[in-house]
């Protein structure tokens, strides 16, 4: 047969088939329309109440129950041809003809869980109706977890939740060639199944939910590697460190081994804390306020097998500050096995080590300085376990008075200030922190009053003094870092250089050194700049009579240098000595205060080496009309008005630089 004839024949068959379906549908529509028209009182649920004129149809379903997506196939069981029937696959009541919900397909796929009605509508005489019900169930994979135990055992735990509840039982494929295992639900607990593998490798375990009778359900996978017994070992605590109220434990465990921290309570029982990790690392317990507190780490696999570490306990430390010493006291860390030693550190340096487990205190008196902070820590070594206490600090204390200053000296410097120096009685290498308190006596026999204080310094300069007018005496007190003061040092006094007679210079003999006597004095002649021109040794004398080698030299500047037996030096103030001179006073017999610039004033003339001078003028009745204490002279006025011409008396009182007093009286004529 030619291609064209085959195509023509095929076309003819296709046309005949489409015409047949058209006519069938038309006929069914006519029949059903007739049914509806003749039975207007007919109820809307055709499955419960078929139309009165309808015959009973018939069909089968490939399966009454299945997992979504669920495919069903219907088969007409009447004697009428299949092409005379339509099907509604999710009939929910009502008129299927009016809604045109019927289809000729005999296969349908359900994607959602639920119960469904399938309605068959047939064009048989006055029409036929048949119904069947099917159920579509969910196929969500159940939730499960797989755990490796010792000896190559693996346990599967299926969670009893809303996903698992619809299933009748579960299928487990262990992925090692063994038969599929069926496990059933018992009570309300999670479902457990155990399997032992023969080979160590990774396995993809599949767990599926199962509906009995239809053998369907969703499944999921989890990979697991079974473990040998040697891979489950007791965890080990290698180090315990206390920091404040936290205790940190370093733990060694298998790479996949989960460990939980247990803490011993007051009854001696171990209680699990919600502190866990997997493998090596640290666990931190908080709010630990008493010591010793004991710990264990415990590993428990899914099979219920427990693996525990040895007990390790913390160390608590307290430090008590005593008189120039600190006592460190600690508790023993439980009853550890293989104890080796305690190491006590002080400010991060090793203080002592002890091999005896029962030794729990040590007294530290090595270089303890008042008011300094010292921090102590105790470490116990027991086998391979290191137990470290918290660091506890204390401020050193002492109530014992320190020794007084013994080496103290004073000296007057070139700026008329007083320098005071001392050597601390406790070396600064041992006690770098201290105070030097300075007390000064301003008058002989007077009280010593605190005038200043130096902190961590042994040099003081006193500027609130006049060392050229008087000698000053000092005492110094050493105060330790603890605030405890020593007895005052011996008194030291400055050397006051002056002149008590017209022909000598004199100085005080009180010692400027606290710890030794004066060995000798040396008189220094100095120039205006302070450079020494000559030194004169005078032994222990406290006076010296200057010699006027040059009559033109009327004054010499001196300073006294005191030298101790050890060579220490103290200087006096500078003093200018004036060689004695005869007092020469000249007052004119008359003066003419007329403003011509010649002989207008009554003034004293003559010697200039006066320390003080006073001129007093009297009238004829003995009344004072003029008085002055300098050399300004009288200009012949009284209260700003010209005085009357005539004779006036005067008195002159002078004191020279050596303190010698001279008085001169006489009369003078005022001429106008």
Shared-domain flag, residues 531 and 595:
no
3-state secondary structure 567-602: CCEEECCCEEEECCCCCCEECCCEECCCCCCCCCCE
Shared-domain flag, residues 74 and 113:
yes
> What is the number of structural domains in the chain?
6
Closest CA to 221 of 202, 210, 236, 205: 205
Pairing relationship of beta strands 65-67 and 128-137 according to DSSP bridges: parallel
pLDDT at 69: 92
CA–CA gap between residue 345 and residue 391 (Å, rounded): 9
Give the tens place of pLDDT for each residue, 619-648.
Answer: 999 999 999 998 889 999 999 999 999 999
pLDDT-derived band at 18, boundaries 50, 70, 90 = very low
Q: What share of the chain is helix, strand, coil (3-state, %, to 5)?
A: 5, 45, 45
Task: Write out the two tokens for 182.
Answer: 């069926």
Which of helix, strand or coil describes residue 528?
coil
Residue 476 Cα distances to 266, 441, 445, 640, angstroms? 59, 12, 17, 59
Highest-confidence segment of 230-239, 412-421, 549-558? 412-421
CA–CA gap between residue 232 and residue 254 (Å, rounded): 7
pLDDT-derived band at 141, boundaries 50, 70, 90 = very high
For residue 271, being part of any structural domain is answered with yes
Shared-domain flag, residues 592 and 603:
yes
Q: Give 319's Cβ-side CA count (13 Å radius).
A: 24
Task: Write out the two tokens for 62.
Answer: 């490939």
Contact present, 121 and 85 (Cβ < 8 Å): yes
Shared-domain flag, residues 111 and 200:
no
Choosing from 580, 600, 620, the residue where a domain stops is 580
Q: CATH code at 339?
A: 2.60.40.10
Q: What is the mean pLDDT of residues 2-9?
A: 30
- Cis previous bond, 384, omega within 30: no
Residue 194 Cα distances to 147, 178, 231, angstroms? 10, 13, 19
Q: Is the pLDDT of residue 532 over 60?
A: yes
pLDDT at 378: 98
Which residues, 6 or more positions from 303, have their beta carbon under 8 angstroms from its beta carbon? 147, 149, 150, 153, 155, 194
Shared-domain flag, residues 575 and 592:
no
Q: CATH code at 655?
A: 2.60.40.1220
For residue 7, being part of any structural domain is answered with no
Task: Write out the two tokens for 331.
Answer: 């508790």
For residue 452, being part of any structural domain is answered with yes
Shared-domain flag, residues 191 and 248:
no
Q: Give 301's Cβ-side CA count (13 Å radius).
A: 28
pLDDT at 300: 84
For residue 355, being part of any structural domain is answered with yes
For residue 448, being part of any structural domain is answered with yes
Q: What is the mean pLDDT of residues 141-162?
A: 92
Shared-domain flag, residues 491 and 512:
yes
pLDDT-derived band at 656, boundaries 50, 70, 90 = confident
Shared-domain flag, residues 353 and 476:
no
Q: What is the mean pLDDT of residues 350-377?
A: 93
Q: What is the mean pLDDT of residues 511-529?
A: 94
Q: What is the dihedral of CA 398, 404, 407, 410, to 10 degrees?
A: 110
What is the secondary structure of 348-375 as a DSSP string?
TEEEEEE--TT--EEEE-SS--TT-EEE
pLDDT-derived band at 582, boundaries 50, 70, 90 = low
- Residue 306: which domain range? 232-313
Cβ atoms within 10 A of the Cβ of 22, count?
10
Shared-domain flag, residues 353 and 470:
no
Closest CA to 142 of 118, 107, 167, 111: 167
3-state secondary structure 295-320: EEEEEECCCCCEEECCCEECCCEEEE
Shared-domain flag, residues 606 and 520:
no
Q: Average model confidence (pLDDT) for the chain?
A: 89
Q: What is the mean pLDDT of residues 55-68?
A: 94
CA–CA gap between residue 81 and residue 322 (Å, rounded): 116
CA–CA gap between residue 27 and residue 84 (Å, rounded): 9
**Intra-chain end-to-end CA distance of the chain, in Å:** 184
Pairing relationship of beta strands 473-480 and 492-493 according to DSSP bridges: antiparallel
Task: Write out the two tokens for 79.
Answer: 């004697």
Q: What is the mean pLDDT of residues 242-246?
A: 97
For residue 623, being part of any structural domain is answered with yes
pLDDT at 657: 67
Choosing from 277, 297, 313, the residue where a domain stops is 313
pLDDT-derived band at 549, boundaries 50, 70, 90 = confident
Give the helix ranges, DSSP H, for 135-279. Answer: none
pLDDT-derived band at 525, boundaries 50, 70, 90 = very high
Task: Write out the two tokens for 620.
Answer: 């004829």
Task: Write out the two tokens for 269.
Answer: 């029982």
Contact present, 418 and 471 (Cβ < 8 Å): no
Shared-domain flag, residues 561 and 418:
yes
Q: What is the mean pLDDT of residues 361-382?
A: 93
Task: Write out the two tokens for 502.
Answer: 């017209």
Q: What is the mean pLDDT of residues 159-166?
A: 93
Shared-domain flag, residues 333 and 437:
no
pLDDT at 36: 45
pLDDT-derived band at 19, boundaries 50, 70, 90 = very low
Q: Is the pLDDT of residue 453 over 70?
A: yes
CA–CA gap between residue 293 and residue 276 (Å, rounded): 18
Task: Name the burial class of residue 142, with classes exposed (0-12), middle (13-18) and buried (19+) by CB atoms within 10 angstroms of its CB.
Answer: buried
Give the tens place of pLDDT for each residue, 182-205.
Answer: 999 988 899 999 999 999 999 999
Q: What percent of the chain is predicted at pLDDT more than 90?
A: 72
pLDDT at 608: 61
Give the tens place of pLDDT for each residue, 280-317.
Answer: 999 999 999 999 999 999 998 777 788 999 999 999 99
What is the radius of gyration, based on Cα positions, of the chain?
Answer: 62
For residue 344, being part of any structural domain is answered with yes
Choosing from 547, 564, 580, the residue where a domain stops is 580
pLDDT-derived band at 27, boundaries 50, 70, 90 = very low
For residue 1, being part of any structural domain is answered with no
């Amino acid at each position: 047969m030619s291609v064209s004839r085959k195509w023509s024949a095929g076309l003819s068959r296709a046309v005949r088939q489409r015409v047949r379906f058209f006519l069938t549908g038309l006929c069914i529509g006519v029949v059903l329309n007739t049914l509806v028209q003749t039975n207007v009182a007919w109820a809307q649920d055709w499955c419960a109440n078929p139309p009165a004129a309808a015959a009973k149809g018939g069909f089968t379903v490939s399966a009454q129950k299945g997992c979504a997506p669920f495919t069903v196939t219907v088969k007409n069981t009447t004697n009428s041809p299949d092409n005379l029937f339509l099907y509604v696959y999710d009939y929910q009541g009502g008129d299927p003809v009016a809604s045109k919900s019927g289809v000729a397909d005999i296969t349908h796929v359900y994607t959602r869980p639920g119960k469904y009605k399938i309605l068959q509508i047939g064009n048989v005489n006055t029409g036929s109706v048949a119904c069947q019900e099917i159920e579509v169930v969910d196929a969500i994979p159940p939730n499960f977890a797989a755990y490796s135990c010792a000896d190559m055992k693996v346990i599967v735990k299926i969670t009893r939740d809303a996903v698992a509840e619809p299933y009748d039982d579960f299928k487990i494929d262990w992925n090692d060639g063994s038969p599929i295992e069926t496990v059933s639900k018992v009570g309300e607990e999670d479902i457990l199944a155990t399997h032992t593998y023969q080979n160590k490798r990774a396995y993809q375990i599949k767990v599926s939910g199962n509906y009995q009778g239809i053998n369907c359900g969703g499944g999921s996978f989890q990979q697991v590697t079974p473990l040998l017994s040697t891979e489950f070992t007791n965890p080990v605590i290698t180090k315990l460190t206390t920091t404040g109220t936290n205790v940190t434990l370093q733990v060694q465990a298998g790479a996949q081994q989960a460990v939980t921290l247990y803490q011993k309570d007051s009854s001696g029982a171990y209680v699990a804390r919600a502190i866990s990790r997997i493998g090596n690392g640290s666990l931190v317990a908080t709010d630990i306020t008493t010591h010793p507190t004991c710990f264990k780490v415990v590993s428990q696999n899914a099979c219920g097998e427990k693996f525990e570490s040895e007990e390790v306990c913390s160390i608590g430390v307290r430090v008590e500050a005593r008189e120039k010493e600190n006592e460190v006291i600690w508790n023993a860390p439980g009853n550890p096995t293989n104890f080796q030693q305690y190491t006590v550190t002080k400010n991060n340096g090793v203080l002592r080590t002890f091999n005896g487990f029962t030794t729990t205190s040590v007294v530290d008196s090595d270089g303890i300085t008042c008011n300094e902070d010292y921090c102590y820590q105790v470490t116990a070594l027991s086998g391979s376990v290191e137990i470290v206490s918290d660091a506890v600090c204390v401020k050193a204390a002492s109530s014992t008075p320190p020794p007084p200053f013994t080496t103290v000296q004073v000296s007057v410097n070139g700026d008329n200030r007083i320098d005071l120096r001392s050597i601390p009685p406790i070396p600064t290498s041992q006690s770098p922190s201290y105070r030097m308190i300075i007390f000064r006596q301003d008058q002989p026999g007077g009280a010593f009053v605190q005038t200043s204080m130096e902190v961590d310094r042994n040099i003081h300069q006193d500027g609130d003094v006049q060392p050229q007018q008087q000698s000053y005496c000092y005492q110094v007190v050493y105060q330790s870092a603890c605030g405890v003061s020593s007895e005052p040092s011996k008194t030291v006094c400055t050397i006051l250089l002056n002149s008590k007679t017209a022909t000598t210079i004199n100085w005080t003999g009180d010692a400027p050194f606290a710890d030794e006597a004066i060995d000798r004095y040396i008189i220094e002649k100095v120039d205006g700049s302070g450079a020494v021109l000559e030194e004169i040794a005078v032994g222990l004398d406290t006076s010296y009579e200057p010699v006027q080698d040059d009559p033109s030299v009327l004054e010499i500047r001196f300073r006294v240098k005191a030298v101790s037996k050890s060579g220490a030096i103290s200087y006096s103030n500078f003093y200018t000595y004036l060689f004695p001179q005869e007092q020469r006073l000249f007052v004119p017999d008359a003066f003419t205060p007329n403003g011509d610039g010649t002989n207008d004033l009554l003034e004293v003339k003559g010697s200039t080496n006066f320390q003080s001078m006073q001129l007093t003028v009297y009238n004829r009745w003995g009344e004072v009309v003029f008085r002055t204490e300098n050399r300004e002279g009288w200009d012949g006025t009284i209260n700003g008005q010209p005085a009357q011409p005539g004779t006036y008396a005067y008195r002159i009182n002078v004191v020279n630089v050596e303190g010698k007093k001279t008085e001169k009286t006489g009369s003078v004529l005022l001429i106008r």
